[in-house]
Amino acid sequence: MDSEFWAKIHGASTHLPLALAGCSWLFDAAGLALARRPAGPQLNIAGYWTMLLAGLGTFPAVASGLLMTKGQMLGHDLVRFHHLFVWPAFGLLVGLATWRAMVGTMTRRGVFGCYLAVGFTAAALVAGAGYFGGEMLLGH
Amino acid sequence: MTREKKALGAAILASGLALGGAFVFGKTLQQQARADSHQQPAVAETWLFSPPAPSPEMAVAGQKLFLNSCAHCHGADAHGDEGPDLHGVQVSDRRIVNVIKNGIQGEMPSFAKKHSEAEIAELLAYVRSLN
């Protein structure tokens, strides 16, 4: 299958983990803020599952990107900027999803705060990767 | 060891494996693409014209054409972007001309309608000047 096919698959597969990672962070932050209310634990359950799905969703997104570019991992200009955000975001999202899968829906408040800080970094990196991905398509 | 610390170790391991797997997958695809790009032209890809011997003037003209038509994929410095690096290409003039004229299915469009044979010869001179 050619690059044009994988470009379509890449476009279709990247937005889901991007949205899930952002939603997971919002659910968990809200769950932490509302921990003493009935909705708090429910929000953390939603954050748990959306993070797991975001972690899984990164694999088709990365694989389709590599297939589209014939294995280019850094490149030049906008592609380089895109990749400089993609690789740390990919590593962080896989790590966060693994950590969350083992820890469960909630843990100690301080530790969970650290998780949210790293999650915010990952979401920001994913947003940066998405921005430069969009610039490649629409910026010229 | 607490549950969180065990999970942190697993998370670091999973991240490393994911990034390592992506690296190996990427390298494999690069090798495959490199092998594909060095295949000999098909019989149908005939040598339609003989470009004149490259000159510095042709290379300068070719660079202008390159910046308009090719830099978007090959990078303004021809060091590659979405398309491959063109410095030191180890293929024949015939192969370069055929790729510009016919494109590569699914990878690169044909420029036969956009550029005349003289312009393609200038593009070839520019690509050769990168060596």
Give this complex's ipTM.
0.83
| Reported confidence tier of residue B1, pLDDT bands at 50, 70, 90 | low
In the predicted structure, residue A102 carries a pLDDT above the cut 60? yes
**What phi, psi does B82 have (nearest 5°)?**
-75, -35
Size of interface A-B (CB pairs under 8 A): 99
**What phi, psi does B105 have (nearest 5°)?**
-55, 125
Task: State the pLDDT at residue A3.
Answer: 65
Residue B101: closest CA among B88, B115, B80, B91: B115
Say if residues B80 and B86 touch (Cβ distance below 8 Å): yes
Is B4–A2 a contact, with Cβ atoms under 8 angstroms apart?
Answer: no
Say if residues B30 and A68 touch (Cβ distance below 8 Å): no
Task: State the pLDDT at residue B20.
Answer: 94
The mean-pLDDT minimum among A68-82, A91-105, B8-22 falls in: A68-82
Is B25–A66 a contact, with Cβ atoms under 8 angstroms apart?
Answer: yes
CA distance linking residue A24 with residue A21, whole number of Å? 5
Task: State the pLDDT at residue A50.
Answer: 95
Q: What is the mean pLDDT of chain B?
A: 82
Is A62–B30 a contact, with Cβ atoms under 8 angstroms apart?
Answer: no
Query: Percent of chain A having pLDDT more than 90?
Result: 45
Q: A114 is written with which tokens?
A: 């650290």
Q: Is A101 helix (H, G, I), strand (E, B) or coil?
A: helix
Close Cβ partners of A5 (under 8 Å, ≥ 6 residues apart): B106
Query: Percent of chain B having pLDDT more than 70?
Result: 85
Task: State the pLDDT at residue B49.
Answer: 60
Task: State the pLDDT at residue B3.
Answer: 82
Whole-model pTM: value is 0.66
Best residue in A62, A67, A72 for a mutation probing chain B (most B CBs within 10 Å):
A72
In the predicted structure, residue B41 carries a pLDDT above the cut 70? no
Task: State the pLDDT at residue B76.
Answer: 85
Name the most confidently modeled range: A41-45, A73-77, B101-105: A41-45
Q: A20 is written with which tokens?
A: 């899930």
| Reported confidence tier of residue B43, pLDDT bands at 50, 70, 90 | very low
CA distance linking residue A104 with residue B46, whole number of Å? 64
Task: State the pLDDT at residue A1.
Answer: 60
What residue in A sits closest to B11 (Cα-Cα)?
A: A95
- Region for B78 from its dihedrals, namely left if φ exceeds 0, alpha if ψ lies in -120 to 50, beta otherwise: left
What residues in A contact B87, CB-CB < 8 Å?
none
Close Cβ partners of A131 (under 8 Å, ≥ 6 residues apart): none
The mean-pLDDT minimum among A43-47, A50-54, B94-98 falls in: B94-98
In the predicted structure, residue B83 carries a pLDDT above the cut 80? yes
What residues in A contact B28, CB-CB < 8 Å?
71
